[in-house]
Structure 1
Amino acid sequence: PKEVEEEKDEEGAKEDEDEDKDKGAKEDDAAAMALERFKLVPPEERKFVRTWSDGLDPERNLRYFSGTEIARLMGFPVEAPSAAVVERGFECGDDGDDRKGDDDDDRRGGGAAAAAAAAGGERTKRREFSFPPSCSKNKQRWRLLGNSLNVRVAARIAEIGLRGRRVITDAGGDVVAEE
């Protein structure tokens, strides 16, 4: 009887291992599908057209704004005219708190003033907005922006995207029909 119990314990352990492997494989498949569906596209590869809202489905494909998109919504210029000089702003390290201001560079003879003089151009007042190369993660970028996208702005964008689409819901808020 003792040997039979040991065999049952071994069989049970093997079944548990097999179940764990199957569960792990399913989780890996689900993760791969989610990554493909919600993969990040670099801003320079994104294409925006007037019909951007056609594919908007709040039940399936909402996403976070990128740092550059938030900056645009906050009014930062993202494209500089050809004569403009890109000035140096904040730098971020791992925690996003390391700063270096434009004025510090200018006093030492560096920065935009020196770059403009070296290029033979004039310093302009307009700045091009960009994040430093060391600031590659959205979390760092959001921290630099102060997580300050106004909720009303985000709500208005969603409203504009959904305008023209009529969604009928029941009392519980479940979607009954879309027109």
Structure 2
Amino acid sequence: MASRFAASRGNPWMSALASPPFASTPCWLAVGGADRLPACYPINGAKTSPQSITQHRQERTAMSTIKTIGDDDFAALEAQTGDAPLLLIFSAIWCGPCKAMAPTLEDIADVYTPSVAFARIDIEQAPGLAEKFGVRTVPTLVLRRGGQDKLRHVGVLTRTKLAAMMDEACQEPQA
């Protein structure tokens, strides 16, 4: 009697699927992939319950060096920063590119916080600021210094380009 895997010996893809590592894998995982897992299914022993994910996001937000401001807070923040550079990050909670760029912004903010102030503005929570700065697309980054716009970028930036922009802002002589 032939082995049940004999037919798969000539096809490397079939032999890979028939190999022992896949023997214990549920069929829906092998076919659908990890992106189709239920939210609380442990992957590699990680705790991925909705509560732990929410707690991690809240801790990350609490430790953030980027302040979230509204229409009323902007004047006080600009007075507080004085002639130091201020990066305004216009975003929205529903914006996918904004969410994708958030970790990069957090990392850059951790590096440049002593010399550059960072402020996140949700365009739905602060429509007055979005109108004042002419923001029509998110994400929009506006770098201000001494009450004047120095740089403006619409769209996602890579970590390298954002770091170059921050370096330029920090090296510019104060007027």
TM (norm. structure 1) is 0.24
Larger Rg: 1
TM (norm. structure 2) is 0.24
More strand by share: 2
